[in-house]
């Protein structure tokens, strides 16, 4: 595109960090020869525990594995229903299907993009076994309202905090509300370990089951206690994760400051900016706006101005083929108007900690210039 010459360096939507410190940590572990689930993993679990009110932490090889193993550890399966948002990454519902249970999609609150507690309550049936609230974009779901609903119906709560490291609600960190919390350390998340995941739980028995499940059902080698898989984290990944964990507080502050800058300088009246619920600490994983009209044109205009953007998520989970087709066959129809509307309108802008002031100014100016489209 010829216009890109005006902005030789486009601003990427995400900018994963692999600095000298991460490289040195990885090399140190490689040279040590202890590369799989050794001392670095144990230290990573201990360090991460501080982020979730001292809960037990169990490291695994991805956020999806974290979710999946929690469902297995809770014994969820055939005949069970799990209430999930459709406005999320497919992993949230994939794991429900993989465990043999049925996802039941509930609509979102259009302000937070997280599960609407009233919709959760309405989705509960005698077969409901669990709820998976997603702290989407880094905004904590309404746990203060979801936890009492779960308690009243005797349901497990599995927090999908894969986008929300260090987010909190009324002072309680995400991952410290539910039966278990799950985190991802994929490169584009607020912190990463190349690939990796973590489960947090206050239940020591559940933590032990998770440790068995991730390692073929063994605590002592060849003394298998249950059926398990291999979803172990490497010590190389854990060493990188520990370096990033130490940087997370400063990075989160930068994301919050970048969000404040964008919200102050984006003045186009038809753009809906992100909002933060009372008492919530948004970890600002994404800065997501809503645009009226032709979103593709808006995204193309932003790209012309050298501003990368991304749409999370253009297709709600219930409309993805592996969910849609069986639901059609079974005659299941979901009424999710806020989910459909959000999926049609959202655009996420760069908000990562390495953005400079001129880059932030360019992002805000590019969004304000979108007004010409409408
Ligand atoms: C990233 C993500 C996951 C999956 O994490 P992986 O580490 O990529 O497996 C699950 N849920 C949500 C909401 C995510 O954003």
Between vectors from CA 67 to CA 62 and to CA 69, what angle results, nearest 5°? 90
* Shared-domain flag, residues 67 and 201: yes
* Cβ of residue 182 lying under 6 Å from some atom of ligand 1: no
- The verdict on 73 and 185 lying in the same domain is yes
- Predicted local confidence at residue 6, as pLDDT: 58
Q: So which residues are the catalytic ones?
A: 189
178 within ligand 1 shell (Cβ under 6 A): no
* 136 CA closest ligand 1 atom index: 13
Is the pLDDT at 32 greater than 60? The verdict is yes
Q: Tell me the pLDDT tens digit for each residue of 223-254.
A: 999 999 999 999 999 999 999 999 999 999 99
* Choice from 88, 160, 181 to test ligand 1 binding pocket (greatest atom count within 8 A of CB): 160
Using the 3D structure, point to which of 216, 244, 272 is the last residue of a domain: 244
Per-chain mean pLDDT for the chain: 96
Q: How high is the pLDDT of residue 8? A: 57
Distance (angstroms) between ligand 1 centre and the Cα of 358 equals: 31
Instruction: Give the pLDDT mean for 84-99.
Output: 98
User: Does the structure show a pLDDT above 70 at 330?
Assistant: yes
* Helix ranges, the chain (H): 20-32, 39-49, 63-73, 91-98, 117-123, 143-153, 204-213, 235-265, 295-304, 321-329, 337-345, 357-369
What mean pLDDT comes out for the span 88-102? 98
Q: Are residues 116 and 155 in the same domain?
A: yes
Q: Are residues 240 and 252 in the same domain?
A: no
Q: Is the pTM of this model over 0.85?
A: yes
Looking at the chain, the whole-number percentage of residues with pLDDT higher than 90 is 96
The reported pLDDT for the residue numbered 2 is: 45
Q: Which of 212, 210, 211 has its CA nearest to residue 158?
A: 210
Give me ligand 1 centre to Cα 2, in Å: 36
Instruction: pLDDT band for 374, please (50, 70, 90 cuts).
Output: confident
- Final residue of a structural domain among 244, 270, 297: 244
**Do both 200 and 276 map to the same domain?**
no
Q: Is the pLDDT of residue 256 over 70?
A: yes
Q: 7 lies in a domain? A: no
pLDDT tens sequence across 197-227: 999 999 999 999 999 999 999 999 999 999 9
> How much distance in Å is there from the Cα of 265 to the middle of ligand 1?
30
């Amino acid at each position: 595109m010829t216009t890109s010459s005006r902005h030789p360096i486009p601003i990427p939507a995400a900018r994963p960090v692999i600095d000298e410190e991460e490289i040195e940590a990885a090399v140190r572990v490689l040279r040590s020869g202890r590369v799989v689930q050794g001392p670095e993993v144990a230290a990573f679990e201990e360090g991460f525990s501080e982020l979730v009110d001292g809960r037990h932490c169990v490291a695994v090889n991805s956020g999806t594995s974290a979710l999946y193993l929690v469902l297995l550890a809770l014994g969820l399966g055939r005949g069970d229903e799990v209430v999930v948002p459709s406005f999320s990454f497919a992993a949230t519902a994939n794991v429900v299907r993989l465990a043999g249970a049925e996802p039941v999609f509930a609509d979102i609150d259009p302000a937070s993009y997280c599960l609407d507690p009233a919709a959760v309550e309405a989705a509960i049936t005698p077969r409901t076994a669990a709820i998976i609230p997603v702290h989407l974009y880094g905004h904590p779901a309404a746990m203060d309202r979801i936890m009492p609903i779960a308690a009243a119906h005797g349901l497990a709560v599995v927090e999908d905090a894969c986008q929300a490291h260090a987010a909190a609600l009324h002072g309680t960190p995400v991952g410290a509300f539910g039966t278990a919390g799950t985190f991802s350390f994929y490169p584009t998340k607020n912190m990463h370990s190349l690939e990796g995941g973590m489960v947090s739980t206050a239940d020591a028995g559940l933590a032990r089951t998770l440790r068995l499940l991730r390692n073929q059902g063994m605590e002592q080698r060849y003394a298998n206690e249950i059926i398990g898989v291999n979803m172990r984290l490497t010590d190389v990944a854990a060493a990188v994760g520990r370096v990033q964990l130490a940087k997370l507080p400063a990075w989160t502050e930068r994301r919050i400051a970048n969000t404040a800058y964008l919200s102050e300088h984006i003045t186009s009246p038809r753009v809906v900016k992100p909002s933060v619920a009372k008492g919530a600490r948004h970890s600002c994983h994404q800065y997501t706006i809503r645009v009226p009209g032709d979103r593709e044109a808006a995204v193309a205009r932003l790209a012309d101005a050298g501003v990368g953007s991304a749409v999370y998520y253009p297709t709600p989970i219930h409309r993805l083929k592996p969910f849609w087709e069986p639901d059609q066959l079974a005659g299941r129809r979901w009424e999710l108007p806020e989910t459909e509307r959000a999926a049609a309108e959202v655009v996420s802008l760069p908000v990562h900690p390495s953005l400079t002031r001129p880059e932030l100014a360019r992002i805000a100016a590019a969004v304000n210039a979108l007004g010409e489209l409408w």
